[in-house]
Structures are given as structure tokens and as C-alpha cells.
Amino acid sequence: MQFVELANRYSSKVEVSNAALTVDAKSIMSVMRLAATQGAVLKITADGEDAEEAAEALVGLIRSGFGEMEDAGRDEQAT
Amino acid sequence: MKIKKGIGVSPGVAVARAVVLDAEEIDIPQRHVPVDHAQAEKSRLENAIRKSKEEILDLQQRTVDRIGKETASIFDFHLGMLEDKVLLEKFLDTIVSGSVTAEYAVQTVLRGYAKEFLAMPEYLADRVKDVYDIEKRLLRNLTGQARQSLSHLRQDVVVLAHDMTPSQTAGMDRDHIKGMAIDAGGRTSHTAIVARALGIPAVVGLNDITAEATGGDTVIIDGNRGVVVVDPDAHTLETYEQYAQQQVEFVHSLDALRDLPAITRDGHEVTLLGNIEFPPEADTVFEKGGQGIGLYRTEFLYLGSDTEPTEEDHYHAYRQVLEAVGDRPCVIRTVDLGADKYTQARARVPERNPFLGLRSIRYCLQNLGMFKTQLRAIFRAAADRRVSIMFPLITNLLELRQAKACVRDVMEDLEEDGVEHGTDVLVGMMVETPSAALQCNSFAQEVDFFSIGTNDLVQYTLAVDRGNERVASLFSSANPSVLRLIKEILRAGQRHGVPVSVCGEMAADVQYTLLLLGLGLRTFSCTPPAIPEIKKIIRSVTMEQALQVARRVMSFDTDQEIVSFLRIETRKILPEAYSD
């Protein structure tokens, strides 16, 4: 949720991919489909006016170990 | 066309339009709209989304106020879904490209996601609940809510649901419901019991059939093979319609056996009785050629209604059954509640392991008021005839003696009060726990009869939850340890002159008849629709054949070998019971 909410704050088009799929990072249902679990490698692509900030912010969020997409209380280590 | 495999728990074939229920019994009636309605449907959807968002924001605020921010964050996902533009696009595209209603679009798209999520790692799969929740909310805001009632249907349907509760099935329109397909459940789930009693095909353990079909889809339910086909193509449809016709003819041929005795080719008599849940089913037992009632499950008096039944309620039900039965045998089992809404709702603290908890006879012995009410009603209803009372789930002798003491107390009270009551009462017990089976010789000296409850006996002996679709395949009546116990119980019965019957699902399964006969069983009690087929196989064999089969079976080590062997032997004698 935090990931998607953050992505929605930027005007640029933002996409996130795993090895198999590329989806719209602003869509919670699409991001869920990545089924990203601990240790997954994700690629973030942004295109637009605030593209750089968007990409940085999202990578920062993952690296900081957000509790998104899982039960509260579990930390996820970013790769 | 989609083909799904589950567990066939009630035989037969049905082809009909589907009614798909979610947990709140909401179904989607209409699918298509004229092309120029697309815009109107899109607006309806957008309004429903807006309304749903308002509801959730409100709920969220109230949760923040009353409980706290942390908890309120559970609604974030719901809001995220309602604001998801990709999701909205999908909804709108579906409406336009399929010329369908907003309801249909919502259901199809969300169930598509649900299906994907179900295949994910656990904590992601949990989100499926939220998806179903949003679906319900959107549908409620679209249709202004019409709860699908299964009690008044205008056309023949098959019902697809996540699970079916006793209260749902109690109110079902029996004329129009032709089959059932359920996500949950194993072989002896409630759905299975009801479907067999109604004589309609049912397939359970399908996991996600409710995500695969929508209201109005044509669905084939093949209870023989445990297969469900959604939206069959023309060829499949035709094949199945022919197959369904053959099934109908087979069932009719069995009806001709009704008045013939259940006697082996070499003259050994067997007693065939019926299992019932509701008084009207007593007549069905006799229509199908049964000779009496081997198991009257009385807990339905509690499960079918919201209030606790009074002594008069009990009395009327038992009176109705006993009048239908006349002077034929009738075994009334005392309440076998537990791990269900009745006992769990009344528990001060919900049990962590209800199947091993305060249920059945234990519950009764700790709630003597309720227990004695039932016993009184049974005695009064049997004033002018013999009746048999049976206790479920007995695990030790003390329990049995306590229950028998209650029976004596009730009889004495009725004597003192000068109330007319039965005096010809047989008291027996279910043997359905390993402890009862292992101590059967001691128990045999203190009861008038045994009835082997194979469903629970298998469950407890193999430590398998029969309702858990993840392990349902481990549940097997053919397990050698279970068969050893059954053999012991039958021997104890013979040794002590105590009649033994089998009233579990095993008695209704034609593949086990030879084995049970060979082990010494002479009384079978099963669901009425199964009686003719069991009678047919009994009439087609000699006891010598049955003994040989039993001997071979007891030499095998695994369920699989036993099932294969029994299938081959049974097929030789009753080829028409096999469709492939």
C-alpha cells in the first residue's frame, strides 16, 4: 500500500517489474500480481517530469524495509 | 469451457444454469444488456464505486475514533482497490466489450484477480478476503441488495457455493435444485449428506469453483466422477446429456428392487435401514426399500432454527417419525452437536480444537437440562411402541454409564409424574472413536446394540479432518487399521450377542458391501437413495464370495491396494455401477 500510495504522488508514469511481468506501479491490484516476497528483485522505471524523484523515493521506501504487502510487524529487507 | 476436478460425494449428473453464492448468499442474476446500455452501466458502476469509497472512509474514520489508527489501516487496501485506475479500466472494458451488466463485470474481474491471488504465498493470498469484501460492497451498492433465496426458484438450477450451512440447506427449494458444487469440504461434509439424501449430484473440495463460474453459466455437475464443467462446449454438453439419461434409467431399474428382500444368493438375510435428518425423510426410506431407520440424526432440530427447540418441538418430530415407521425398527441418536454454530456460539470461550472438545455426548452430560428434555420427548413419543436410543461419541465406560443413568432418571420422573411413556426401550451406542473400538468387549456387556460410525471412526483413527480439503484425500474407509477395528467390533458383537450395524458412509458405498458382509456385518444403515444399489449387490453375491473378498482385503497393507481390489471385485458383480 505504501508503495502504491507513494507512486501515486508523482505525475510521471511509473512501472515496476519482476522477472516475468511489468505493471503500473500506481495500481494496487497490478502491483499485487507481482507477488513480490522477501528477496525478490524488482525494477522500477519512471518516465515524466518528476521521474527521477519518483524512482529515488520508491527505491528508498523498499530499502528502508517497509511493512507493505505483508502483515504488520514483519520487516522486508530490500535488495 | 472450464473443467474442474473435486471430490464426488453424491452420485448422478445434472446440467443446469448456475446460481453462484458468495458467503452472504448474494448471487448475480443477470448477465447481458443491450449494446446501447453500456453507458448507463458504466455510470452505475462509477456511482457504486463512489458510494463504496464513502462507506469505507466513514468506516475508517469510526475505527480511528473508536479503536485506533493502526487497526483502521486495514481499510487502506480497500480504498486502494477502489482508487485503482487499472481496475476501473478493466471493469469498464468488460462492460463495453461483453455488453454486460456492471454486476457481472465486477464479479468477473474481481474473481479473476482472486484466482490469481489464491495461488500466491500465504500472506498475499489472505488479501483475497479483501477482494471478496470489495466485491460484496460494490454489488450491494449496485443492486441495492437482493439476497438470493434458495427457497423459491423459478427454474431448475445447480448451486455453486463456498460452503453450505445446515440452515441454507434446510430451506432449499428441493424441486428446482438439481446439483451442488462446493469449494470447501470433504467426503462427509454437510453438503455431501444433504445431497445424498436428496438424490442430487454433488462435488465438493473444488477450492475455487465460485471464482470460475458466474450466475447464469451453464454448468455440468458429475457427481460420479467428481467433475464440474463450466460453460461446456457443444460436444461436451451432448455427451453429458446422454450420460445423464443413462443415469436416470439406471436409477429407475433399481426402484424395481423395492419390495424384494435383501438376501444373498445363498440365503443369508441382511437388514437394510435408512439414515435420516428430517421427519419427512422417513417415508423416503421405505419408498427406497429400507426396512426401518438405523440412524435418526436429531441435531438438525437445533441447527435448522435460531431458537432452542422445546420438549414439544422434539416430541412432534419424534412422533412424526415413529408414526411413519410403525412397528419397524427406529434408532434415535441423541444430539451430536459440536464444532458448529450452536455450541460455539454458546461457548464462553471459543474452543481451539472443537472436534476434540466439548461436543456430542460430553456436551449433553454437561448440559443435563437439554439432554433430559430430549430424552423425555423420546420416551413420550414412543409411548405405544419400541424405540432404540443411541449415544454418539462415547469414549469411556463411565460416560456410557452416566448417559444410561440419565435415561433411567428420565424414565423414573415420567413414572412419578404419571406421564405416558415408552417402556420398551433399547439403549445402544455409536462406536466411532478408537477408544470405544479398542474396548468394544467391555462396552458390549453394557449396551443393547452397537452402531459403527465409520465417518468419525476413520477421522479419529487416521487423525484427519474430513472437512479439510487439503487432507481430504487421506481420509479412507479402506485403511487397514480402520478395517481391523471394524472387524474387532463385529466379533465383540457376535461374542456378546449384541447386534452391530454400520451407519457411516461406508454402508452406502457399494464398493465396501462385499467386504463388510465378509467381515460379519448383517445390518447396514445408509442414506435412502443408496439403499437399492446396496440391496442389488447383496442379492447378487454369495456369502462365500464375500468371505473370500474379506480375507484377501485383510491381507493387504495399504488403502490403495484395498480400494483397487474392491473396485475390481465389485465391478465384476455390478458393472453398471461403473460409468467409465
Domain harbouring B54, CATH code = 1.10.274.10
Verify whether the Cβ–Cβ distance A30 to B117 is below 8 Å.
Answer: no
Residue B320 near residue B332 (C-beta atoms within 8 A)? no
Q: Are residues B76 and B133 in the same domain?
A: yes
Does residue B298 sit in the same domain as residue B316? yes
Domain boundary among B143, B177, B203: B143
Domain ranges for chain A: 2-63
More confidently predicted of B33 and A10: A10
Please, where are the H alpha helices in B448-558?
454-462, 480-496, 510-519, 531-540, 543-554
Do B77 and B155 lie in one domain? The reply is: no
DSSP A15-44: EEE-SS-EEETT-HHHHHTT---TT---EE
pLDDT of A75 above 50? no
* B22 and B50 housed in the same domain: no
Residue-wise pLDDT for B540-574, tens only, equals 999 999 999 999 999 999 999 999 999 999 999 88
The pLDDT score that the predictor gives to residue A79 is 27
- pLDDT digit string (tens) for chain B, length 580 residues: 889 988 888 888 999 999 887 655 555 556 777 888 888 889 889 999 999 999 888 888 877 776 777 777 778 888 999 999 999 999 999 999 888 888 889 988 998 898 888 888 776 777 887 888 888 888 888 876 444 566 677 789 999 988 776 656 656 777 889 999 998 876 556 677 778 777 789 999 888 888 888 878 899 999 988 899 999 999 999 999 888 888 778 777 888 889 999 999 999 999 999 999 888 789 889 989 999 999 999 987 886 666 788 999 999 999 999 999 999 999 999 998 876 656 666 666 777 777 788 889 998 999 899 999 999 999 999 998 999 999 999 999 999 999 999 999 999 999 999 999 998 999 999 999 999 999 999 999 999 999 999 999 999 999 998 767 788 788 899 999 999 999 999 999 999 999 999 999 899 999 999 999 999 999 999 988 889 999 999 999 999 999 999 999 999 999 999 999 999 999 998 887 765 4
Q: Is the same domain home to B376 and B392?
A: yes
User: Cβ–Cβ of A32/B124 closer than 8 Å?
Assistant: yes
Query: What is A2-63's CATH superfamily?
Result: HPr-like (3.30.1340.10)
* The domain boundary residue, chosen from B201, B224, B251: B251
Same domain? For B536 and B432 the reply is yes
* pLDDT (tens digit per residue) in B288-313: 999 999 999 998 788 666 678 899 99
Spatial CB neighbours of B481, under 8 Å, sequence gap ≥ 6: B461, B462
Q: How far apart are CA B66 and CA A21, in angstroms?
A: 41
Q: Are the Cβ atoms of A32 and B113 closer than 8 angstroms? A: yes
Beta-strand pair B500-502/B202-204: unpaired
C-alpha cell at B356: 476434540
Domain region containing B166: 2-27+148-251
Judge if B400 and B529 occupy the same domain: yes
Phi, psi of B425 (to 5 degrees): -120, 125
User: Do residues B123 and B138 share a domain?
Assistant: yes
CATH code (residue B170): 3.50.30.10
Q: Does the beta-carbon distance from A35 to B120 stay under 8 Å?
A: yes
What's the rounded Cα separation, in Å, for the pair B328 and B116?
55
State residue B378 phi and psi, 5-degree precision: -65, -45
- State which of B102, B124, B143 marks the end of a domain: B143
What pLDDT is attached to residue B540? 94
Are B325 and B342 in the same domain? yes
Q: What is the pLDDT of residue B539?
A: 95
What pLDDT was estimated at residue A70?
Answer: 42
**Could you say which of B190, B364, B406, B440 is catalytic?**
B190
| Contact status of A43 with chain B (Cβ, < 8 Å) | no
Q: How far apart are the first and last CA of chain A?
A: 19
pTM: 0.62
User: Do both B71 and B159 map to the same domain?
Assistant: no
Judge whether B364 counts as a catalytic residue. Answer: no
Looking at B330, B406, B440, B503, which residue is catalytic?
B503
Distance of CA B36 to the CA centre of its chain: 45
Give the pLDDT of residue B171.
62
**How many CA atoms lie less than 13 Å away from A51 in the CB half-sphere?**
9
Q: Is B406 a catalytic residue?
A: no
pLDDT of residue A74: 31
Whether B342 has its CB under 8 Å from any CB of chain A: the answer is no
Total domains, chain B: 3
Of the pLDDT bands very low, low, confident and very high (cuts 50, 70, 90), residue A24 is very high
Calculate the CA dihedral of residues B151, B152, B153, B159 and round it to 10 degrees: -10
B235 and B329 fall within a common domain: no
| Residue of chain A minimizing CA distance to B131 | A29
Length of chain B: 580
Domain co-membership, B441 together with B300: yes
pLDDT at residue number B246 = 82
Q: Vertex B175, ends B174 and B180: CA angle to 5°?
A: 55
Angle between helices B510-519 and B559-573 (to 10 degrees): 100
Q: What is the pLDDT of residue A65?
A: 72
